[in-house]
Each structure stands twice: as structure tokens, then as C-alpha cells.
């Protein structure tokens, strides 16, 4: 065991854990007052639910002995054979428990990301069951495919910290959910204005902070690669922030704070698959692209008419896809992309993108149907109008 790497990855795990409350705030500020707690809860409760599902079965399906490149076995179920030493650890330098908990934090935030799509109109009971199934049947396979010895990683797809596993998967799920759940009541007639933008800015700040653990930690060691991933992450995010507000400024006449926060997240998303494979200047290009492309991405929902409440598809889907493809273009560290003469890498990336979208979309739709049949996914109209805080949780956010 390498104590330095252990220290580094434990701290990184804490940072990634902190992203989920950060996401809760990021999303929570964007909804209306009457749904703030429900939206916070969709993220916060996953720190509980997803962690336990991960310990019980998810980790094992992801990193247990590979079956045909498709799924892991049950060897690590209930954290069996996962100890404080390096035995069985997928990362030989790290205690197995350290590797497991770092990955756990990814399994927590990924389903939380989806919740932006169905915000303000989902039953809490349905949400809990759906998410449990989703971690088992969508997240764990995806994670296995890419990082657990599955076919996508074997094919040579590059995904440093989760462009496919985290962002495209959640965005594909978000799209399915948004379509199947239908639009929020009043959509198109009432103004759905963020109720607390400072909360969203704080959330974005926490996300940025925690994302250093996400991306630099994905080096799984405190080496030069971690330093590189740290820097590319920061620079792409900075660039995404700037290019989004520049696009707004040119397009609508004003740079907005929500645009700055959104652009930063777009940059973070886009650099995620690339962080360890590109150098800082290409990272800036990826970030600049992310800001503009995702600004376009959020317009898609108006075009296609689904109600992706908090733009999961527009930011994580479009940004993650852009990042995955850009990795195939700009990769030059420990891998070689198009510009380094390997067009093939771009093709591999393309295949992984398509496979991810298709698999996650279809599986999510199936799970959604099942849970909808079991307990119902959408609250009654009256419950939705009163707000989910009161109707689902018997609470209200503020008494100011």
C-alpha cells in the first residue's frame, strides 16, 4: 500500500462526497420555492440510499469478477473481501476499502444528476424505488463496462473520470424520465423562475471544489497525472464559464450569473472524460467548446418539447458527449487521439457514446415503466400544485 496515495484518495473521496450536497444546492436554487426541499432531498437522500445499494451489491456488480465483459460477479457483495489491505483491490497501491469508497461517491452523485430532469413533479416513493433499480441495472453495468474490466474499456474507449459512466448515463436517463413523466403543470404558461440563485452559485462553487477530487483523484495516485488532471479540470471549467457568458452576451445582450455557473458546470462535465488524457491548452479548447455547445444544448428542449426542468440533457448530455468525442480528438497523454494521428480513437469514442446513450435510455425507460406501474411516478395534480415539499415531505423550506 502506498500511504501517500491512500491519503490523497481518501481526501479526494471526501471531496467527491461533498459534491452531492453541492449538487443539491445547485439544483435546489433553480426550482420554485415550494419544491426546494424535495429537490434538495433528491440529491441528499442518495448519500444514504445509493451508498447502501453500492455496499450491498453495486460495487460487486461493477468491480467483481468479470462475466463476459458485461457485468461483475457477486464476490464483493456486502463488501465481502473488501478490506483495509490491498488484497483484491483493483488499484494495487490503495487499500481495497479506499478504492471502493472513492467509487461509491460516483455511484451517489450519478443518479442525483438525473433528478434535475424530473424536478418539481415526481413522487418520492417512486423516486426511491426507481433510483435503487437504476443503480443496479444501469449504473453498475456502465461502470463495469468502462472501469471494471468490461467491453467498453477493453475496446479502448477513453473515459478518465466518467464522461460516459456519470454524465451521459445520467443524461440519457434524464431524457427518458423527462419524456415519460411529461411536462410540469403550467409549463409554457407560468414563469418557472429560479427561486434562489445565490444557492445555485454556492452549489456551483462546491461542485467545482469537489470536482478536483473527482478528476484528479481518478489518477488514483498523487502523481504528475493527478497534477495534470487537476489543472486541465480547472482550466476547462474556467474556459466553459467564460464562453457560456460570452455566448449569452452576444446572443441576448447580457452575461448572467446563472450562465456563469452553468458554463462552469458544462466545462467540468466536458473535461471529465478527458482530464488525464489531454494537456492544459487543449483543455481550454474543450472548455471553450463546452460553454458554447451546452448553451446551444439547453435550447434543444424547446425544439423537441420535453420538459428537462434543470437542463440535465443540455448540460450533462451534450457536454459529456462533446467531452468524450473531444477526448478522441485531443488525447495526447497516455493515449493518442485524432490530432496525434489516431483517428481510430475518435471512432472508438463515437461507438462508446452511442452505446451509452442507447443502453441507458432504453434501460431507464423500462425501469421507469415498471416503477410507474408499481407505485406511480407522478403525484396528483393537487399535490404538484401545492408543491412537493408539502405534499411529499410535509415540510416547507422557509419561514422568512
Partner 1 sequence: MKKIEVITRTFKLDDVKIALTDLGVKGMTVTEVKGFGRQGGHKEVYRGAEYQVDFVPKIKIELVVEDERVAELVDAVRDAAFTGNVGDGKIFVSPMDEVVRIRTGETGDEAI
Where along the sequence are the contacts to partner 1 (CB under 8 A)?
Answer: 186, 189-191, 193-194, 248, 251-252, 254, 256, 258-259, 262, 295, 298-299, 311, 385-386, 390-391, 394-396
CB of 250 to a second copy, least distance (A): 13
DSSP 264-324: HHHHHHHHTTTTTTS-HHHHHHHHHHHHHHHHHHTTHHHHH----TT-HIIIIIHHHHHHH
- Binding to a second copy (CB under 8 A) within 373-392 occurs at 392
Site string for a second copy, 269-308 (x = CB under 8 A): -----------xx--x------------------------
CB of 298 to partner 1, least distance (A): 5
b/e per residue 115-152 (b: at least 16 CB within 10 A): bbbbbbbbbbebbbbbbbbbbbbbbbbbbbbbbbbbbb
- Could you tell me which residues are beta bridge partners of residue 67? 71
Partner interacting with residue 298 (select from a second copy, partner 1, none; CB below 5-8 Å by kind): partner 1
Q: How many CB atoms lie within 10 A of CB 256?
A: 15
Element (H, E) at 239: helix 224-252
Kindly state the DSSP code that residue 67 receives in the 8-state scheme.
E
Collect all residues with Cβ–Cβ distance below 8 Å to 304 and sequence separation of at least 6.
none
CB of 251 to partner 1, least distance (A): 7
Q: Is 130 in the site for a second copy (CB under 8 A)?
A: no
Find the length of the chain. Answer: 400
Kindly state the DSSP code that residue 123 receives in the 8-state scheme.
-
Q: Is 4 in the site for a second copy (CB under 8 A)?
A: yes
- Binding to a second copy (CB under 8 A) within 244-273 occurs at 245, 252-258, 260-261, 263-264
Residue from 90, 180, 223, 300 touching a second copy (CB under 8 A): that is 223
Residue from 175, 241, 338, 348 touching a second copy (CB under 8 A): that is 241
Q: Is 30 in the site for a second copy (CB under 8 A)?
A: no
CB of 45 to a second copy, least distance (A): 5
- Among 5-13, 64-72, 168-176, 298-306, which window interacts with a second copy (CB under 8 A)? 5-13
Decide: residue 273, CB within 10 A, 0-12 exposed, 13-18 middle, 19+ buried: buried
CA 248 to chain centre: 24
- Among 12-20, 307-315, 338-346, 377-385, which window interacts with a second copy (CB under 8 A)? 12-20
CB of 352 to partner 1, least distance (A): 28
Partner interacting with residue 349 (select from partner 1, a second copy, none; CB below 5-8 Å by kind): none
- Among 22-30, 112-120, 318-326, 367-375, which window interacts with a second copy (CB under 8 A)? 22-30
- Binding to a second copy (CB under 8 A) within 57-86 occurs at 78-79, 82-85
Q: CA 147, CA 257: separation in Å to the nearest integer? A: 36
The phi-psi region of residue 79 (left if phi > 0; otherwise alpha if psi is between -120 and 50; otherwise beta) is left
Residue from 20, 62, 115, 131 touching a second copy (CB under 8 A): that is 20
Residue from 95, 116, 297, 317 touching a second copy (CB under 8 A): that is 95
Partner interacting with residue 84 (select from partner 1, a second copy, none; CB below 5-8 Å by kind): a second copy
Q: CA 29, CA 32: separation in Å to the nearest integer? A: 8
Residue from 65, 124, 155, 372 touching a second copy (CB under 8 A): that is 124
DSSP 96-108: HHHHHHHHHHHHH
- Which grid cell is 107? 455511484
Amino acid at each position: 500500500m502506498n500511504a501517500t496515495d491512500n491519503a490523497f484518495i481518501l481526501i479526494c473521496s471526501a471531496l467527491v462526497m461533498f459534491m452531492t450536497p453541492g449538487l443539491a444546492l445547485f439544483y435546489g436554487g433553480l426550482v420554485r420555492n415550494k419544491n426546494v426541499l424535495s429537490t434538495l432531498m433528491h440529491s441528499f437522500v442518495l448519500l444514504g440510499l445509493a451508498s447502501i445499494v453500492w455496499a450491498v451489491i453495486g460495487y460487486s456488480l461493477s468491480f467483481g469478477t468479470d462475466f463476459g465483459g458485461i457485468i461483475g460477479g457477486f464476490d464483493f457483495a456486502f463488501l465481502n473481501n473488501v478490506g483495509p489491505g490491498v488484497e483484491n483491490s483493483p488499484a494495487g497501491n490503495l487499500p481495497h476499502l479506499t478504492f471502493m469508497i472513492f467509487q461509491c461517491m460516483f455511484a451517489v452523485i450519478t443518479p442525483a444528476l438525473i433528478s434535475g430532469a424530473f424536478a418539481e413533479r415526481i413522487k418520492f416513493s417512486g423516486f426511491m424505488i426507481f433510483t435503487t433499480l437504476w443503480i443496479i441495472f444501469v449504473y453498475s453495468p456502465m461502470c463495469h463496462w468502462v472501469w471494471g474490466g468490461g467491453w467498453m474499456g477493453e475496446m479502448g474507449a477513453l473515459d478518465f473520470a466518467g464522461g460516459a459512466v456519470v454524465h451521459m448515463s445520467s443524461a440519457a436517463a434524464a431524457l427518458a424520465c423527462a419524456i415519460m413523466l411529461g411536462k410540469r403543470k403550467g409549463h409554457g404558461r407560468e414563469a418557472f423562475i429560479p427561486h434562489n440563485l445565490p444557492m445555485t452559485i454556492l452549489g456551483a462553487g462546491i461542485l467545482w471544489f469537489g470536482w478536483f477530487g473527482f478528476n484528479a483523484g481518478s489518477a488514483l495516485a498523487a502523481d504528475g497525472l493527478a497534477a495534470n488532471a487537476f489543472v486541465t479540470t480547472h482550466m476547462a471549467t474556467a474556459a466553459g464559464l467564460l464562453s457560456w457568458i460570452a455566448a449569452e452576451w452576444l446572443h441576448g445582450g447580457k452575461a448572467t450569473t446563472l450562465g456563469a455557473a452553468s458554463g462552469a458546470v458544462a466545462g467540468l462535465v466536458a473535461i471529465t472524460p478527458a482530464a488525464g488524457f489531454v494537456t492544459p491548452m487543449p483543455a481550454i479548447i474543450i472548455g471553450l467548446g463546452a460553454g458554447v455547445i451546452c448553451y446551444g444544448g439547453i435550447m434543444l428542449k424547446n425544439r423537441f418539447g420535453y420538459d428537462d426542468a434543470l437542463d440535465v440533457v443540455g448540460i450533462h448530455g451534450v457536454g459529456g458527449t462533446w467531452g468524450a468525442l473531444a477526448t478522441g480528438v485531443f488525447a495526447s497523454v497516455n493515449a493518442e487521439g485524432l490530432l496525434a494521428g489516431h483517428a481510430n480513437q475518435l471512432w472508438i469514442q463515437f461507438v462508446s457514446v452511442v452505446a451509452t446513450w442507447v443502453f441507458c435510455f432504453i434501460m431507464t425507460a423500462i425501469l421507469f415503466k415498471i416503477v410507474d406501474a408499481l407505485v406511480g411516478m407522478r403525484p396528483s395534480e393537487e399535490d404538484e400544485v401545492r408543491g412537493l415539499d408539502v405534499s411529499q415531505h410535509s415540510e416547507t423550506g422557509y419561514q422568512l
